């Protein structure tokens, strides 16, 4: 009789402990890419440009990213390497083509993600991903993952670009985030397929102590649309920013 | 003076966008034109978004300047 009464209490305590132990930790991601850049005939023969485009896939494979999380916040950052000049335009080129334009900061209480891009803070609601959940399953790193799909809208020379994204998430890890600012699913994204890049969870470690995460406060706040408009102006009106004479 | 002012504005904007371009060579019109042309063509052909094209332009520009300085 006593055991019957105590059992739910023990179960609740166990679940609370498990839930707490899952709420702080670090997840590590790596990427593979299949970009295939070919210089057009009109661009002339430039060995250095060819080298830049040829090395992008290898450079992306060498990158590592860390998602640090607690019960209300998470941050996703590129792990800097000592042998890479991180400020060089080549390193920035490789990072952008890997799908990383961060760091990214998730706030699960307000359900949004903010990315810090130079002097700007660009906020996005996690619900705006508008995922389509499917029953398709895949085992990745011993975790049962479910497939979710969405279309990411971007702006470029061709006008509006509609790029499909596939996320494999697990409900076993109750964390509504993932790599490169993606999130808003019923569990952690274990693998993301987007824009010729596959990002996969390498390892995850849960900690039994609280991890302090600070959201960025310095920077000009803007929406994704405002940032896109700024980028469009910089790209389509480069002459405005440079005196050739 | 006007040239310097515009060049400084160019670098400042790039710094704002990309956080950390050092020793930028602002006096390379030929590199600007070449990088602009390649990035524009590839941006269209490859279906790049504006941010991808922007970083490609910067990387191509730097590669060109580095080649000129050799």
pLDDT in tens, A74-129: 999 999 887 777 778 888 888 999 999 989 999 999 999 999 988 899 999 999 99
Rg from Cα positions in chain B? 12
Contact A243 B18 (CB under 8 A): no
pLDDT exceeds cutoff 50 at A13: no
Compare A190 and B9 and report the one with higher pLDDT.
A190
Return the pLDDT at A214.
92
Residue of A nearest to B58 (CA): A89
Nearest chain A residue to B60 by CA: give it: A49
Task: Name which of A68, A12, A65, A1 is nearest A209 in CA terms.
Answer: A68
Residue B14 lies in a domain: no
Q: B61 in a domain, yes or no?
A: yes
Q: Is residue B9 part of a domain?
A: no
CA distance A191 to A188: 9
Asked, for residue B68, whether it belongs to a domain, the answer is yes
- Asked if the interface predicted TM-score (ipTM) of this complex is over 0.90, the answer is no
Residue A227 lies in a domain: yes
The CA distance from A202 to the nearest CA of chain B, in Å, is 26
Query: Model confidence at A22, in pLDDT bands (50, 70, 90)?
Result: low
Q: What is the pLDDT of residues A127-144, one digit of tens each?
A: 999 999 999 999 999 999
Question: Is residue B43 classed as helix, strand or coil in its secondary structure?
Answer: helix
For residue A158, the distance in angstroms to the closest alpha carbon of chain B comes to 6
Range of the domain at A40: 2-126+198-241
Tell me the H-state helices in A63-103.
89-97
Residue A189 has pLDDT above 90, yes or no: yes
Q: Please state the domain count of chain A.
A: 1
How far is it, in rounded angstroms, from Cα A75 to Cα A31? 18
What total number of domains does chain B contain?
A: 1
Residue B8 resides in a domain: no
Give me chain B's average pLDDT, please.
71
Q: For B55-68, what is the mean pLDDT?
A: 85
State the pLDDT at residue A193: 97
Residue of B nearest to A233 (CA): B50
Count the Cβ atoms, other than its own, within 10 Å of residue A174.
Answer: 14
Does the residue B64 lie in any domain? Answer: yes
Does A161 map to a domain? no
User: Which tokens is A109 given?
Assistant: 């209480």
Residue B5 located in a structural domain: no
Which residue of chain B comes nearest to A36, CA vs CA? B46
- Give the per-residue pLDDT at A36: 84
The size of the A-B interface in CB pairs under 8 A is 132
What does the radius of gyration of chain A's CA atoms come to, in whole angstroms? 21
Range of the domain at B65: 25-70
- Report the gap between the CA of B65 and the closest CA in chain A (Å): 10
User: What does the angle CA A167 – CA A171 – CA A173 come to, to the nearest 5 degrees?
Assistant: 100
For position A15, what pLDDT does the model report? 38
pLDDT level of residue A48 (50, 70, 90 thresholds): low
- Return the biggest CA–CA distance within chain A: 91
Chain A residues whose C-beta is within 8 A of a chain B C-beta are 37, 39-40, 42-44, 46, 48-49, 51-52, 86-90, 92-93, 96-97, 101, 117-120, 154-158, 161, 228, 231-232, 234-235, 238, 241-245
Strands A143-156 and A159-170, sheet pairing: antiparallel
pLDDT class of B31 with cuts at 50, 70, 90: confident
pLDDT at A41: 65
- What residues in A contact B68, CB-CB < 8 Å? none
Distance (Å) from the alpha carbon of A148 to chain B's nearest alpha carbon:
23
**Residue A137 placed within a domain:** no
CB nearest to A52's CB, from B9, B49, B59: B59
The pTM for the full model equals: 0.84
Q: Does residue B53 lie within any of the structural domains?
A: yes
Cβ-defined contact of A156 to B50 (cutoff 8 Å): yes
């Amino acid at each position: 009789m006593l055991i019957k009464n105590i059992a739910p209490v023990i179960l609740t305590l166990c679940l609370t402990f498990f839930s707490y132990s899952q709420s702080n930790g670090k997840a590590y991601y790596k990427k593979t890419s299949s970009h295939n850049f070919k210089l057009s005939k009109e661009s002339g023969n430039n060995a250095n440009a060819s080298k830049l485009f040829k090395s992008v896939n290898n450079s992306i494979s060498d990158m590592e990213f860390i998602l640090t999380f607690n019960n209300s916040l998470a941050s996703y950052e590129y792990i800097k390497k000592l042998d890479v000049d991180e400020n060089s335009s080549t390193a920035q080129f490789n990072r952008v083509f890997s799908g990383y334009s961060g760091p990214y900061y998730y706030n699960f209480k307000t359900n949004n993600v903010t990315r810090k891009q130079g002097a700007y803070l660009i906020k996005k609601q996690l619900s705006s991903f508008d995922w389509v959940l499917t029953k398709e399953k895949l085992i990745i790193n011993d975790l049962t993952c479910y497939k979710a799909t969405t279309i990411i809208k971007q702006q470029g020379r061709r006008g509006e670009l509609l790029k499909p994204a596939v996320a494999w998430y697990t409900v076993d890890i109750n964390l509504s985030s993932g790599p490169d600012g993606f999130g808003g699913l019923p569990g952690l994204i274990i693998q993301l397929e987007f824009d010729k890049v596959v990002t996969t969870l390498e390892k995850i470690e849960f900690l039994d102590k609280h991890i302090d995460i600070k959201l960025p406060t310095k920077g000009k706040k803007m929406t994704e649309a405002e940032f896109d408009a700024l980028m469009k102006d910089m790209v389509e009106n480069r002459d405005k920013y440079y005196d050739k004479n | 003076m006007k040239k310097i002012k515009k060049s400084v504005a160019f670098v400042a904007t790039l710094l704002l966008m990309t956080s950390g371009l050092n020793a930028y060579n602002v006096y390379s019109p030929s590199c600007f034109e070449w990088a602009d042309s390649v990035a524009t063509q590839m941006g269209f052909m490859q279906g790049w978004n504006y941010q991808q094209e922007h970083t490609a332009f910067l990387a191509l520009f730097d590669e060109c300047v580095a080649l000129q300085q050799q």
